[in-house]
Amino acid sequence: MHKSRLGNIVIDCRTGDLLQEATFWSAALGCPLPKDAQASDTFIQLKTKPGDIQIIIQRVDHDPRAHLDIETDAIDEEVSRLEKLGAVPVSRHDGWTVMQAPSGHRFCVGEPYRGGFEQEANVWK
């Protein structure tokens, strides 16, 4: 038995100025920027209400896209569950695995990111 749920929406930006991109998404989504955000940051996490899905603006080298992060208390078990649904692992890292859905969309499976996980996550047997 393990648990998982949607943890983050990550907006991948190929940019030299991540603060400019984060400023747009902050205004578009109504989520304030953190006070210490810098143009050179690797990622900027917008401010959301406690327990809400986190929104992260991330600097990348690939084409711009958005991806989801699924948070889990058992990465290997969640990867296995998702493989049975048709997803395939793309790369494994310390603390997360990049997967590809049957639709071609990439997403990550990693450790819990936000509060309320124990109370609100789906339980899988």
CA distances to 22, 43, 53, 107 from 104, in Å: 26, 24, 23, 10
CB atoms inside a 10 Å sphere around CB 90:
12
Report all structural domains of the chain as residue ranges with CATH numbers, in order of start.
2-118 (3.10.180.10)
Residues contacting 82, CB < 8 A, separation 6+? 70, 99, 109
The per-residue pLDDT for 18 is 96
| Residue 103: exposure state from Cβ atoms within 10 A (0-12, 13-18, ≥19) | exposed
Per-residue pLDDT of 69-111, as tens digits, reads 999 999 999 999 999 999 999 999 999 999 999 999 999 999 9
